[in-house]
Structure 1
């Protein structure tokens, strides 16, 4: 469970990287989405988080990468699963 806290800390620290209003973990949580599943790697550099929301017929999956060798250390990609 402590890895989930670390993942949320790392993911919430990332900045929006695309134009417009990209899906972010912060935005999903503030809009009432719930964590449905979480999968992390043993070295805690990559993880997947699956979100669900009542009254919505699709899920949202967010993948994250933490790499200290990059200028943008945390990279998050969220997308809808229809």
Structure 2
């Protein structure tokens, strides 16, 4: 049985290990030849998801975007690989 503290440490270790490689950016993906194959937006037009694929790659990349007027950095983008 995994206790809450153990699960949190395992998750933190995984996140730390995963951050060694820089996260992809939308600009970088487009420059590297990735193409947009899917787009989903929210009704309030503040959030959206973009799905990218590349011809010779076996996984997809998904980017979520958020526009938040309450933040100092108003546009927040998070891209990650989907294996």
Normalization by structure 1: what TM-score? 0.74
Q: Which has the higher helix share?
A: 2
Q: Which runs of 5+ in 1 are unaligned?
A: 1-17
Instruction: Specify the alignment match of 1:81 in structure 2.
Output: 82
Number of the residue aligned with 1:70? 71
Alpha-carbon offset, residue 19 of structure 1: 8.1
Secondary structure, aligned partner of 1:72 = coil
Q: How many correspondences in the alignment?
A: 65
**Does the residue aligned with 1:51 lie in a helix, a strand or coil?**
strand
Shift in CA distance, 74/19, structure 1 to aligned 2, threshold 3 Å: farther
Larger Rg: 2
CA distance in 1 between counterparts of 2:54 and 2:70 reads 35
Question: Paired residue for 2:27?
Answer: 26
In the alignment, is the contact (CA less than 8 A) between 2:23 and 2:80 conserved in 1?
no
Instruction: Say yes or no: does 1:50 pair with 2:42.
Output: no
Matched position secondary structure for 2:30: helix
Gaps of at least 5 residues in structure 2 are: 1-18
Q: What is the RMSD of the two structures over their aligned residues, measured on CA atoms?
A: 1.6
